[in-house]
Structure 1
């Protein structure tokens, strides 16, 4: 019967294209790797690899064998994931992607309890406001704020997300409180970027408007500071301005109108039958942290 370790060595040689590179990645010597490939070929009674001084290529038999070996190794990985998915003893690295502001405010401050509970697990948290290719970039999961459409990925809803119109008391004292959506045309608005469309839901259904702003920036955090300073009216998420609403530094404007209720906070991960324990545990942790009513909407920090 074939040694499973020999199959792993064979697959790594093909993946890296080099016995020496495969040996380094496996912590073996090139001589040991060569010996194990030779042992595998001798047991099968056929040559799997064509070797030259410059490269390694698969024979016809080797190609067919390699395709089937990958299926065997994938099945073993799936079986491991199934078993470890029922354990809280996790190790390795958890690679997570999240939006910059949300990750800084609502993930980073809460990592300590999770990492203390799982001391053998390293967390790689990458923050970016650009689109992340979870599979292509090798992420275990991404935390996204979006209205999700059909996808090959799997998603779990973590919390609702409210986006409201708001302004500072100083701005409203100087320019007045708008009473209708149409009144916004006479106010200084602060879209997060040029040509942003504000999609709101109100008493008469959904509406869209494109506010014109005097401040041009590629930073959502700049808009946040601008609305707090009294520069105008902005459409902001409550997770972003919860403390300012609680202390009165910001006031909700036109409370009958909020952004789409279909937008939510999601944990998104590659579609697979068995979810690795490290991913499941982190998602469960965040779901418990944010709760049915997120703490930023419940007057907590």
Structure 2
């Protein structure tokens, strides 16, 4: 039998905070913290950072969470095979996702999901607006957030490391910032509402104020502007990983990055008896993202 503290730890990560998980499990935050500490003492490693307001995983914590999640999913799949419940997964499934993330990391895998669940009638809509799931009749939304609202149930899917980057052309013309204060003298690129930037480097915290060199409401435009040499951007690894590997973008100020509390979640309204297709799609995305090259905790990269 799996140690109950493992399950509690996983629920805390999926909920995004000890207090949120405690509300779901009817356990006080103090007891949640005590049991996590007990698990850390037994394992001899620290699993979460206690210097942040939100729950942020250490490298060991992120690794343990991935492994436990994989075990739980394997158990669920074994039960499904034993009871033939996968045959009952059918009906409409309306999913919402951010535009860039949905295009890059969900749409390419949809056909594989439908091959496993051919009776699911899937609708995938991409939007950068935070839709009201109930009024829009959305069964499941993918959100990149640090705070899952209390009226929604959140399921952790993947990390969302964000790094500073610019193109070789921009750096050739303007030079590379050598310290965090140098950013005030550079051209910054951000979509509407994305400035100021909050950046962390270990225990150091900085807020970068300013205005975008080009105003836009599109994160995809920000990425393209960075590639063409318009300025410095703060981008997620899932968005610019291949561009970094190809040398079209260069990471700047190594060690400084966006706070690690921001992550990729699947969220849905809290309701008993939700459609099996919702759980099936969440499990599918977790499996798909588990070994993605961009899905690494901030401390690992």
Q: Distance in 2 between matches of 1:86 and 1:136?
A: 33
Q: Using the TM superposition, give the Cα deviation of residue 139 of structure 1 relative to its aligned residue in structure 2, in angstroms.
A: 1.1
Instruction: Give the secondary-structure state (helix, strand or coil) at the position aligned to 1:283.
Output: helix
Q: Does 1:289 align with 2:293?
A: no
Matching of residue 173 in structure 1 with residue 172 in structure 2:
yes
Q: CA deviation at 1:195?
A: 6.9
| Distance in 2 separating the partners of 1:151 and 1:236 | 28
CA distance in 2, matches of 1:261, 1:166: 17
In structure 2, C-alpha distance between the alignment counterparts of 1:273 and 1:288, rounded to whole Å: 24
Match of 2:229 in 1: 230
Write the distance in 2 (CA, Å) between the matches of 1:150 and 1:172: 40
Shift of 1:197: 1.2
Alpha carbons of structure 1 residues 254 and 272: separation in structure 2 relative to 1, 3 Å: same
Q: Cα RMSD over matched residues?
A: 1.9
- Secondary structure of the equivalent of 2:137? coil
Report the alpha carbon displacement of residue 196 of structure 1 after superposing the two structures with TM.
Answer: 1.6
8 A Cα contact 1:94 1:279, kept in partner: yes
- 1:18-72 deviations in whole A, cap 9, x for unaligned? xxxxxxxxxxxxxxxxxxxxxxxxxxxxxxxxxxxxxxxxxxxxxxxxxxxxxxx
| 1:273-284 matches, cutoff 5 A | 273-284=272-283
Kindly provide the CA deviation profile for residues 179-202 of structure 1, in whole angstroms up to 9, marking residues without a partner as x.
Answer: 111101111111222672101111
TM-score by length of 2: 0.67
SS in 1 for 2:94: strand
Question: Matched residues in 2 for 1:161 and 1:86: separation?
Answer: 35
SS at match of 1:94: strand
Of stretches 142-151 and 253-262 in structure 1, the one that deviates more from structure 2 is 142-151
1:118 to partner: Cα distance: 1.2
Tell me the residue number matched to 1:115: 114
Tell me the alpha carbon deviations over residues 200-221 of structure 1, each in whole angstroms, 9 at most, x when there is no partner: 1114422211132221111111
Contact 2:159 2:295 in 1 (8 A): no
Task: Please name the residue that 2:100 is paired with.
Answer: 101
Q: Is the 8 A contact 1:157 1:267 kept in 2?
A: yes
Match of 2:150 in 1: 151
Residue equivalent to 1:88: 86
What whole-Å deviation, never above 9, does each CA across 1:248-275 have from its counterpart, x for those lacking one?
1111111111101000000101112334
Which residue does the alignment assign to 2:64? Answer: none
Structure 1 contact 244–250 (Cα < 8 Å) conserved: yes
8 Å Cα contact 2:160-2:295 kept in structure 1: no
Following superposition, the deviation at residue 97 of structure 1 comes to: 0.7
Distance 2:253 2:104 in 1: 26
Pairwise mapping of residues 132-281 of structure 1 onto structure 2 (< 5 A)?
132-193=131-192, 196-281=195-280
- The whole-number CA distance in structure 2 between the counterparts of 1:128 and 1:204 is 34
CA contact (8 A) 1:160 1:294 kept: no
Which residue does 1:125 correspond to in 2?
A: 124
Give the 3-state SS of the residue equivalent to 2:85 in structure 1: coil
Whether the 8 Å contact between 2:93 and 2:139 is mirrored in structure 1 is yes
Which sections of structure 1, spanning at least 5 residues, go unmatched? 1-82
Between the two proteins, the alignment pairs up a number of residues equal to 214
1:15 maps to what in 2?
Answer: none
Tell me, in whole angstroms, the C-alpha distance in 2 between the residues paired with 1:93 and 1:174: 52
- Three-state SS of the structure 2 residue aligned to 1:88 is helix
| Residue of structure 1 equivalent to 2:59 | none
With over 3 angstroms needed to count, the CA separation of the structure-2 counterparts of 1:163 and 1:227, relative to structure 1, is: same
Q: Distance in 1 between matches of 2:179 and 2:210?
A: 14
Report the secondary structure of 2:284's partner residue: helix
Contact 2:94 2:123 in 1 (8 A): yes
Contact 1:86 1:277 in 2 (8 A): no
